[in-house]
Amino acid sequence: MRVTEATRPVAPASAPRVPAHDKLGRLVARSLGLDEPALREGLRPATLDDLSDVLALRREHLLPGHEWDDDAYLRWRYRLGREGAGFGELWCLRAHGRVLATIGVEDLPIELDGQPLTGAQVMDLLVRPEAQESGLGIWLNQAMLARHPFTLAVGANSNSAGIVRRLFEPLAPRLTFTHPLDLGPFVRRRWPTLAATPLAMRAANAGLALRRLALRWRRPRGFMVEHTTRLDPTLAAPVPRGAAGVHLRHHGAYLQRRLLDNPRRPLGLRVARRGDAVAGLIAWSVEADDLGRPELHLIDWRHDGDDALLVLLHEALREAAAQGCTCVRLLLQDEASQRVAARAGFLPSSDDEGRPCGVQSRDAELAARLAHAPWALTDLHDDADGF
């Protein structure tokens, strides 16, 4: 037998040859032993009546050992037939008398070079194992696209990353940046002998602390940063002044629910004010690394300029040091934010291919504009909600 070599894609597909939605529907239906109308009609927004079946499917196939209250999570995240609840729809495909798949969409209001648009982010795609490889996941993605001017997807696992890479117009990948506060875990992984020398570790960590102090000394002045658990519902989330590209159009009422009421985990929130005006905000969570040591992960941030972002990053570093965290991590997509993070002492991860994300639209011109514009997505847009 010949040796089987690793066979990687020759290049990101520039022109995906996915069949048109109607033809795809015929193929998927046939592959699942359904007729096409049954497939189309089986897809509808989930209501509370569907919740127990959806929870059972997720318990069985998606979340072995998950630690959050999934019932509370789905009720928080999706409308489920309730006016004004959730952030979007959970679509449910029923066939052969049971839930075969689900896909979620969250409303995504943006401004593209000053033009307001509302699309949707697709997430929470789950296909029952016996229906996998039928093309159902791709059909569901296309069914969502048919209902929205554009859709955004962020790949979380290898399968969804493959769909994002070949079905969507690629956006700049989100890259991991880290600010180490304690070199211990890093050194223990790579040079265990060196880690056994406490004096060297203490000296290195003292050096890190001095570097952090020196960087903090040069932070912009004129801001007041405060902890908060309540945002003004009418607050328009700050966006960088004069910057082209895509900006998310969110208000305090959304951010309040999205950042502070998430039943998966509590987030810490800080607001930076310049005088009476909100110049930026940042949300984080503290999680354990593989050695059980705390790390501070930045989940979301909004700011009206580089200075506000820099102040907020320094505040996160101060909080992380106070909580004994080993590092602060975040994923950055846009070059402007990456430059600011570097000024605060964050380092890019080596060999980081980044998390893929992409957009698609039935309007080819809009798809191209969206793909070419700079985006600044945060962990809030992870398929896994940054979890």
Binding footprint of another protein on the chain (CB under 8 A): 1-2, 4-11, 13, 17-19, 23-24, 27, 30-32, 127, 130-135, 137-138, 158-159, 162-163, 166-167
Cα R_g (the chain), whole angstroms: 22
Q: Please identify, using beta-carbon distances, which residue of 11 and 213 lies nearer to another protein.
A: 11
Closest approach of Cβ 6 to another protein, in Å? 5
Q: Please identify, using beta-carbon distances, which residue of 8 and 190 lies nearer to another protein.
A: 8
Q: Please identify, using beta-carbon distances, which residue of 80 and 156 lies nearer to another protein.
A: 156
Closest approach of Cβ 334 to another protein, in Å? 27
Closest approach of Cβ 116 to another protein, in Å? 32
* Sign, CA torsion 347/350/353/356: negative
Closest approach of Cβ 169 to another protein, in Å? 15
Identity (one letter) of the amino acid at 101?
Answer: A
29 burial via Cβ count (<10 Å: 0-12, 13-18, 19+): buried
Q: How far apart are CA 352 and CA 127, in angstroms?
A: 29
Q: Please identify, using beta-carbon distances, which residue of 8 and 221 lies nearer to another protein.
A: 8
Q: Please identify, using beta-carbon distances, which residue of 52 and 159 lies nearer to another protein.
A: 159
Contact 148, 120 (CB under 8 A): yes
65 C-beta neighbours (distance < 10 Å), count:
4
Which tokens belong to 97?
């008398």
Q: Please identify, using beta-carbon distances, which residue of 127 and 204 lies nearer to another protein.
A: 127
Q: How far apart are CA 47 and CA 42, in angstroms?
A: 14
Q: Please identify, using beta-carbon distances, which residue of 130 and 335 lies nearer to another protein.
A: 130
Q: How far apart are CA 356 and CA 218, in angstroms?
A: 34
Contact 310, 221 (CB under 8 A): no
Closest approach of Cβ 56 to another protein, in Å? 22
Closest approach of Cβ 31 to another protein, in Å? 5
Closest approach of Cβ 351 to another protein, in Å? 17
Closest approach of Cβ 68 to another protein, in Å? 26
Closest approach of Cβ 222 to another protein, in Å? 50
Which tokens belong to 209?
């602390």
Q: Cα dihedral angle (19, 23, 26, 32), rounded to 10 degrees?
A: 10
Q: Please identify, using beta-carbon distances, which residue of 9 and 65 lies nearer to another protein.
A: 9
Q: Please identify, using beta-carbon distances, which residue of 6 and 322 lies nearer to another protein.
A: 6
Across 270-293, b (16+ Cβ under 10 Å) vs e yields bbbbbeeebbbbbbbbbeeeeeee
Contact 212, 345 (CB under 8 A): yes
Q: Please identify, using beta-carbon distances, which residue of 36 and 306 lies nearer to another protein.
A: 36
Contact 370, 338 (CB under 8 A): no
Closest approach of Cβ 349 to another protein, in Å? 21
For 68, left (φ over 0), alpha (ψ -120 to 50), or beta?
A: beta
Crossing angle of helices 198-217 and 306-322, in 10° steps, is: 150
Q: How far apart are CA 145 and CA 25, in angstroms?
A: 14
